[in-house]
Amino acid sequence: PHSSITNTLPYSLSVDTQSIQNQIDELSTFSDSPAPSVTRILYSEKDVLARRYIKNLMGLSGLSVREDAVGNIFGRWDGDEPELAPVATGSHVDAIPYSGKYDGVVGVLGAIEAINVLKRSGFKPKRSLEVIYFTSEEPTRFGISCLGSRLLAGIETLAEALKTTVDGQNISFFDAARSAGYAKDQTDLTSVFLKKGSYSAFIELHIEQGPILEEEGISIGIVTAIAAPASIKVDFEGSGGHAGAMLMPNRNDAGLAAAELALAVEKHVLESGSIDTVGTVGILELHPGAINSIPSKSHLEIDIRDINEQRRNHVMDRVHQSAVAIAQNRRVKLSEFKVINQDPPALSDKSIIEAAELASKELNLTYKSMISRAYHDSLFMARISPISMIFIPCYKGYSHKPEEYSSIQDIANGVNVLALTLSKLSLD
Ligand code: HGY
Ligand code: MN
Ligand code: MN
Ligand code: MN
């Protein structure tokens, strides 16, 4: 059957580029920040609009749609042998503040269009195909990245923690979920857990969010590993006071403690011995935030990643030591040093990598293996299914900012490779 699939599909693959571009543009209007930026936060009213939009597209593609208790959405195309473990693909649609309109979206709209391409080509799946819209991949609202896929992967500690999780406005996770129509009658999220082996394969289409494919003029990236992410929340407390009347020797400035720790993060990352270690202080808040008031509190959130888990953990330990030392030296209180997540990397499955390479070859597209330095829902789907990812180039590697851009031709290439790979995996 493989030989028949390979000589027919590549010639009859036809992505409707006009409609997928229109969908990307239309979806980007469901945003809480002005165009060209996109802000779409979990369970917000713009997020609910996006969910309705995607469920409608799934329906138009003949997929049967179901949603779980936290809003992971599944669109299914039943195969000839529906009792076999399906093949799944998908990504996320939530967007961090003032970001772009391709991160995640290409992997959800592209997955639905890949189903349309296969239907238009007359393909009949053996294993059912499922498109998954993960309820939220970004950590923005509750500080938890890949919240939906972590639950699908059966992470019990998260299901427990969500019972007492609140957002920055003190809205509980369950109240927020209920406001979007989810978690109606339950506070027990174990119903979301999927068993290992629920899928025979999971493959995610995503923009590279880095400059390599564009710089090297290569059309397709095939992901062999996903870097190990970690995040830490830190609070310092000092006595505060009057910016004019308080002489310097008497101060214990929580703001300067935060500033010193941010520079210490950079120092420890640069001293890790590898270019693959990255560290970012993306949130740094001072209280009370008045020009003439010495900060009495500071709050930092630190993102540290590496493709080598031990090296990343070592940097985290040194950051912790620095936080303690800075607190002592500046006579401030280290009131919180909390590791929010400290995840292992994920390795892609050889057979899925090979299917994506074969698909790229048959479509006469250049491709290369690469690691993903960004995390994705695939990182957690790897706990219950073999995975890989398909990357497409994005302009100068820009992402998480409004200038994010991928050409419709690159998107179409990605959709075609996804469609052909899904067809191969479905017939396995
Ligand atoms: O931060 C990340 O790696 C992902 O793009 N949210
Ligand atoms: Mn992102
Ligand atoms: Mn993403
Ligand atoms: Mn805090």
Distances (CA, A) of 96 to 152, 173, 203, 391, 402: 22, 18, 23, 20, 11
pTM score: 0.94
The separation between the first and the last C-alpha atoms of the chain, rounded to the nearest angstrom, is 10
For range 133-153, the mean pLDDT: 98
CB of residue 138 inside a 6 A radius of ligand 1: yes
CB of residue 137 inside a 6 A radius of ligand 1: yes
CB of residue 377 inside a 6 A radius of ligand 1: no
Q: What local confidence, expressed as pLDDT, does residue 5 receive?
A: 47
Determine the residue of 101, 141, 145 to mutate for testing ligand 1's pocket, defined as the one with the most ligand atoms within 8 A of the Cβ atom.
145
Per the listing, tokens 């989810």 go with 182
For range 36-53, the mean pLDDT: 98
User: How far apart are the C-alpha atoms of 13 and 10, rounded to whole Å?
Assistant: 5
Closest approach atom of ligand 1 to CA 137: 6
pLDDT averaged over every residue in the chain: 96
Strands annotated E in 265-316? 278-287, 297-306
Determine the residue of 138, 303, 312, 373 to mutate for testing ligand 1's pocket, defined as the one with the most ligand atoms within 8 A of the Cβ atom.
138
Distances (CA, A) of 287 to 258, 298, 385: 12, 6, 45
- Exposure string over 405-425, b if 16+ CB within 10 A, otherwise e: bbeeebbbbbbbbbbbbbbbb
The phi and psi torsions of 186 (rounded to 5 degrees) equal -145, 145
Give 374 Cα–ligand 1 centroid separation in angstroms. Answer: 5
Closest approach atom of ligand 1 to CA 305: 3
Determine the residue of 92, 376, 401 to mutate for testing ligand 1's pocket, defined as the one with the most ligand atoms within 8 A of the Cβ atom.
376
Give 300 Cα–ligand 4 centroid separation in angstroms. Answer: 8
Task: Check pLDDT > 60 for residue 8.
Answer: no
CB of residue 230 inside a 6 A radius of ligand 1: no
| pLDDT tens track for 12-21 | 788 999 999 9
Please tell me the total number of residues recorded for the chain in this structure: 428
**Residues contacting 422, CB < 8 A, separation 6+:** 87, 89, 114, 118, 129, 203
Q: What local confidence, expressed as pLDDT, does residue 11 receive?
A: 56
Contact 16, 115 (CB under 8 A): no
Closest approach atom of ligand 1 to CA 103: 5
**Residues contacting 142, CB < 8 A, separation 6+:** 42, 162, 165, 166, 167, 173
- Tell me what ipTM this predicted complex has: 0.90
Give 209 Cα–ligand 3 centroid separation in angstroms. Answer: 8
Task: Check pLDDT > 90 for residue 101.
Answer: yes
DSSP-based three-state secondary structure for 141: coil
Return the percentage of the chain with pLDDT > 90, whole number. 96
Neighbours of ion ligand 2 (CB under 5 A): 103
**Residues contacting 76, CB < 8 A, separation 6+:** 63, 64, 65, 66, 86, 128, 129, 130, 131
For range 122-140, the mean pLDDT: 97
Q: Given 3-state DSSP classes, what are the helix, strand and coil percentages for the chain, each rounded to the nearest 5?
A: 40, 25, 40
Return the percentage of the chain with pLDDT > 70, whole number. 97
Q: Report residue 428's pLDDT band, with 50, 70 and 90 as the boundaries.
A: very high
Determine the residue of 372, 375, 389 to mutate for testing ligand 1's pocket, defined as the one with the most ligand atoms within 8 A of the Cβ atom.
375
The phi and psi torsions of 34 (rounded to 5 degrees) equal -70, 145
> Which residue minimizes the CA distance to atom 6 of ligand 1?
138
Q: What local confidence, expressed as pLDDT, does residue 6 receive?
A: 46
| pLDDT tens track for 193-223 | 999 999 999 999 999 999 999 999 999 999 9
Give 421 Cα–ligand 4 centroid separation in angstroms. Answer: 44
Dihedral of the alpha carbons of 374, 380, 385, 386, in degrees to the nearest 10: 20
**Residues contacting 123, CB < 8 A, separation 6+:** 5, 9, 423
For range 388-401, the mean pLDDT: 98
Task: Check pLDDT > 60 for residue 176.
Answer: yes
Task: Check pLDDT > 70 for residue 10.
Answer: no
Give 148 Cα–ligand 2 centroid separation in angstroms. Answer: 14
Q: Report residue 2's pLDDT band, with 50, 70 and 90 as the boundaries.
A: very low
Q: What local confidence, expressed as pLDDT, does residue 9 receive?
A: 54
**Residues contacting 35, CB < 8 A, separation 6+:** 28, 29
> Which residue minimizes the CA distance to atom 5 of ligand 1?
374
CB of residue 306 inside a 6 A radius of ligand 1: no
Q: What local confidence, expressed as pLDDT, does residue 211 receive?
A: 98
Task: For residue 213, give both structure tokens.
Answer: 């494919």
Give 234 Cα–ligand 4 centroid separation in angstroms. Answer: 6
| pLDDT tens track for 345-391 | 999 999 999 999 999 999 999 999 999 999 999 999 999 999 999 99
Task: Compute how many other C-beta atoms are within 10 angstroms of the C-beta atom of residue 157.
Answer: 8
